[in-house]
Each structure stands twice: as structure tokens, then as C-alpha cells.
Structure 1
Amino acid sequence: MRAMILAAGFGERMLPLTGHTPKPLLQVAGTPLIEYHLRGLAGAGFAQVVINISHLGRQIEAYCGDGSRWGLEITYSPEEQPLETAGGIQRALPVLGAQPFLVVNGDVWIDYPFQRLGRWQLKPWETAHLVMVDNPPQHPLGDFCLDAEGRVTYRPAERVGYTYAGLGVFAPAFFAHMEPGKLALRPLLDAAIAEGCLGGEHFRGDWEDVGTPQRLTELDARISAADRR
């Protein structure tokens, strides 16, 4: 299985930090966020990784290079202007191949064992499989629910669900009906839920959406303290 790291966003909520540094290169305990993903993917047996880039993308290319220092082969998918999640993935489909692939947001921290998704076989009814987590304080109601079969369902207004972790496995067919261009992932997820072809799981491990400077500072302090122990 190949993997894709989404790294093309502007990171507006992280300003002023992202005025000079792309968000995936912001550091936690002295290591850029994207490197944690690269280490994890390499350790899980992945060999080929695609990274989409746009805002300050040359910095990401300069830091990650060809991936050889992690035992990886990195291919870049440049975007003149960020195409959002679905648009960026759709642009990269020619280099992601014909088989299902892992996708992870470059601005999240997660200790999910990537080897689990590397071995994941989509169920006959699945065109994508999402990893979901407990809801963070800034998103208390969550995004979706899960039924007993592992199908992702809409979250009723009165119910608390789970939050999409920015990690999942997608079949190329998930994007088959999408026109090239800028598009968020949520409309495609909603369409897949309506068709009953979106699967998922609840992950109870460590996860953080590094969406603001304060969250980055708090995560850095927490991980640095854990490393010292």
C-alpha cells in the first residue's frame, strides 16, 4: 500500500508561525510533525509516500528530500494553489496507483499503528475506511457515528459522535465521480454515507489536531515531558 501525507494547506489559524514555516514542519519535541508520520510509515513497512505541497512547499521538499533517510521513496504532488483535501488527493491519483492507499493529514499528531491500515482490506461494501477519535474540547459533538457493522453514519443533532482523525484508507474509486479542482473531503464523505459505503473505526489512542499555536505549545510541552521520562 502507498501512503499520502496532506501538506499543502496555508495553515491560516497557525499564523504568525505559518507565515514563514509550513505547518507540517512545525516542531513537536524538536521534530517536525511530518517527520513523525514519515518515521511511522517507514516503521510500518510502507515504501512509497506521496506528499502534496503548495504553501512554502519548497521547504517541505528541502527537508524531506527523496525520503531515503527514512528508507522511503517520496514523490511530490505540487499544487499552484491549495486544492483542499479531496482536490489534492484527486490530483495525486496518477502517482498513488490503482490500489487503496493510506491518507494522513500532515498537521495532526497521532500514535495510531500505521501497520494496521497498511494491512487493511476494504470490506466489499467499503470505498473508504476512516479512523475516528474521541472528541477534543474544540469539537465536542464530533463528526459522525458508527453502527454495529462499522459503517459510518450521520450524527443526529442530539447525539455525540466521534471526530474524524484525518487518517484513513481510500480506494481510488472513492474519487471517481469528482471533477478535478478544488474540493473539500466532507461532500464526498457525506455522499459515501448516503450510499452506505463508508466504513470506520474508533481509535482510543493519542491524537491532537494541531490547529492553533496554543495547541502546538501544549502538545510540545506534553510530548517533551514524556520524552524526558
Structure 2
Amino acid sequence: MKVLILAGGQGTRLGELGKQIAKPMIKVCGKPVLEYQIELLSRYDFSNIVLVVGHLQEQIMEYFGNGDKWGVKIQYDNQNIEMGTAGRIKNLQVDLEDDFFVLYGDLMFNVNLVKMLKAHNQYKLTFGNQLLGTLLVQPTNHPHDCDLLEVNDDGVINKIFSKPHHVGRTCRNLNNAAIYIFTPQIFRTIESNRALDFGRDIFPTIVEERKGILCAYKSDEYLQDMGTPERLKEVELDVMSGRYEKGMLCVEEKDFLN
């Protein structure tokens, strides 16, 4: 099963650090964030990896090479880097005939991806070809700057509340946590030769226009965005304290009022 890692972001919220270092190469306790991901993928026997690179791509390619050091096979895609997250995946459609993972290379997470895949396969049995993908969702302690979701009892995502949230909006603090499993049917929702983003363009259109089914895999495992200096410090503390290794998030699901 292929795993695509979006590793071309510019890290603008990280200031000067993001200008000098490729965002996935920023170190947490002496090791690049992306290396934590690749080690986890190797541990769960997901060895077929495509790094979708862009900004300062040479740093990533030089460090990881073909992946032999980690017991994985790494390929690179550096084409059409301005096409957005979904647009770049669309360009790889010809090589994605089966279900595949999409991860974001700037996330620190300790998630059992095998369990997530089992949940995805169960959704496939339930919904068949209507299923376009399974999104990992979890409570967030910063809902104001996240895309939030409403999930029904069957696990289907039936509403998406995109950021920024208007004053007075009430919803759960369930966040699109940016780990996805897609079926090849997802490509019918992505136009060719357009710069498109999953969170901003594709998911809201699927849900609002009922173009297919997106399901939620709820997880309380460790996952943190380290896209700001403050969150980077939090992640470093989590690694040093053992919280990352334990794989526990410890954020309560609750209502969010903006």
C-alpha cells in the first residue's frame, strides 16, 4: 500500500526557521519530524513511500535518499509544486490504482495506522464504491484555527465547518487531523490541472454536494501540528516527557463556541 507524504510546505508561520529549513526537516529533540514519520511507517510495515516535495526539497532528498536506512523504499515527486495538496495528488493518479494513505510531513504523530486501515476497510464493506476516504479526526485544543467536523453515528462526516469560524458558531471541537486513506474514487472529485486543496476545496464540496462518502476514524492517539514556534516547543516537551512515546493526546471532545 502506497503512502504519500506531502512534504513541500514552506513553513511561513515558523518565520526565519521556515525559510532556512524544509518544514519536515525541522528537528524535534535532534531528529527531523519527517524521520519520526518514516520510522513509524517502517514499524507498521508500510514501506512504499512517495515524498511529494517542493520548498528546499534538496534537504529532504539528500537526507533520506532511497530509504534503505529505514527499511523502506522512497520515491520523490517534485512536479507542479504550485498545484495544492489535492492537485499534486491528482498528478499521481496513474500510479494509484489501489487505496493509499496521504500524510502531511509537518505532523508529529504516534498513531496505529494498521488500526486505522482496518476501520477504513470496514467502512468499505458498509458503503462500497460510495466511500471516497477515511479521515483521522480527533479533539483539538485550538479549534479556532482548525477545520471542524460533524460526524454521525455511522461514522460519516456530514458537515464541515471551515476556518475561520464566524462569531457565534457552535460545533464540536473535532478536527480534521490530516491523516487520510483514500480510495481511487477520490480522483473523480479532483479536477485536472487546477490548484486545489483537500481541506479548503475538495472535502467541503464532497460533503455539501453529496458527491460521495467521507468517514471519520476517531482517535485519541498522539498527533500534533508543529507549524508555529509555540507548538514546536510543545512537541519537544512532549517527546522529552514521554507523552509522545505513550501515544496519548489527552484532549477532551466537547462543544466549541467561537
Q: Identify the residue that residue 188 of structure 1 maps to in structure 2.
A: 202
Identity of aligned residues (%): 24
Deviation, 1:20, is 1.1
Residues 18-167 of structure 1 correspond to what in structure 2 (within 5 A)? 18-95=18-95, 97-119=96-118, 120-121=120-121, 122-123=123-124, 124=128, 125-137=130-142, 139=144, 142-155=147-160, 157-167=169-179
1:39-63 per-position Cα deviation (integer Å, ceiling 9, x unaligned) = 1111111121011111000110011
Distance, in Å, in 2 between the alignment partners of 1:7 and 1:79 is: 13
Preserved contact between residue 6 and residue 51 of structure 1 (Cα < 8 Å): yes
Deviations 1:179-224 (A, max 9, x none): 2232111321112213251111211111111110121122112212
Q: Could you give the per-residue CA deviations for residues 101-146 of structure 1, whole angstroms, max 9, x where no partner exists?
A: 0111101111111222344425213111000111232537751111
Query: TM-score, structure 2 length as denominator?
Result: 0.81
Query: How many residues are paired up?
Result: 228
What secondary structure does 2:114 align onto? helix
**Contact 2:135/2:176 (8 A) holds in 1:** yes
Displacement of 1:73 after TM fit?
A: 0.8
Amino acid at match of 2:82: P
- Structure 1: which 5+ residue stretches go unaligned? none
Q: Report the Cα distance in structure 2 between the residues aligned to 1:81 and 1:127, rounded to whole angstroms.
A: 24
Say whether the 8 Å CA contact 2:160–2:207 is kept in structure 1: no
Contact 1:9 1:84 (8 Å CA) reproduced: no
Return structure 1 stretches of 4+ with deviation > 6 angstroms.
none
Instruction: Give the 3 Å change call, closer, same or farther, for CA 117–159 of structure 1 in structure 2.
Output: closer
Tell me the equivalent position of 1:226: 242
Give the secondary structure class of the aligned counterpart of 1:201: strand
Give CA deviations for 1:143-163 in whole Å, capped at 9, x if unaligned: 111101110121573222411
| Alpha-carbon distance change, 56 to 155 in structure 1, aligned in 2, over 3 angstroms | closer
1:18 offset after TM fit, Å?
1.3
Q: Deviations over 1:15-68 (max 9, x none)?
A: 211111101001112111101111111111112101111100011001111011
Identify the residue that residue 250 of structure 2 maps to in structure 1.
none
| Cα distance in 2, alignment partners of residues 188 and 142 from structure 1 | 13
For 1:5, the aligned partner's letter is: I
Question: What is the RMSD computed on CA atoms of the aligned residues?
Answer: 2.2
Q: Which runs of 5 or more structure 2 residues have no equivalent in the other structure?
A: 162-168, 247-258
2: distance between equivalents of 1:220 and 1:92?
34
